[in-house]
Structures are given as structure tokens and as C-alpha cells.
Amino acid sequence: MLDQQWALFLVTQEARDFDLMRMVLNQAIASQDLITSLVGREEMVRVSKDWIARDKLAHLDRLMSGNSGNHTQIPELWCAMPVTMTKEHG
């Protein structure tokens, strides 16, 4: 599930679609919160390969607040390793 959310996030980032980026990140936050409640934060971070959606959303919000709300000129964001879920976690 997280790998699909990561892939969708990359598409929205490439399209520079602020609203969809926020939606995808919020969905990933919900997924990561669920994983955390089931197996703990350390395991969630491991299976997410250090892609913490809550941190990315906070970063995006900071970038956008400094961009005067101009959603058409979202700056290049960040790169992270793609999430690859194993069968035991997928």
C-alpha cells in the first residue's frame, strides 16, 4: 500500500499539483499511523524506508507558505528512496 502511495506522490509532485500532493500525503499519514499502532514506529519507519509522510507534508506546507500561495510554482521538493514492500508487509 505504501509503495502505491509513494508512486502516486511522485506523479503529483511531477505534475506540481499541490492539492493532490496534500491528499496523497494525508492518506499515507493515515496508513503510517495504522502501521505504527500495529507494529510500532521503528518498524513503520523501516518498512517505509524512511519516507515519513507527516514530515513531507510539514515540509510542503513550509514551502507553500513561503511561496505566497502560488500553487502553480511549487518548487522542486525532495527525493527519497521509493518504498518497496515485502510480501510479509504488503
Q: Which of 35-39, 46-50, 80-84 has the highest mean pLDDT?
A: 35-39
Calculate the CA 21 to chain-centre distance. 8
Structural contact between residues 48 and 32, judged by C-beta atoms closer than 8 angstroms: yes
End-to-end CA distance of the chain: 6
In our burial notation (b when 16+ CB lie closer than 10 A, e otherwise), range 18-38 reads beebeebbebbbebbeebeee
DSSP state of 27: H
For the stretch 54-86, pLDDT in tens is 999 999 898 888 766 555 555 555 444 444 444
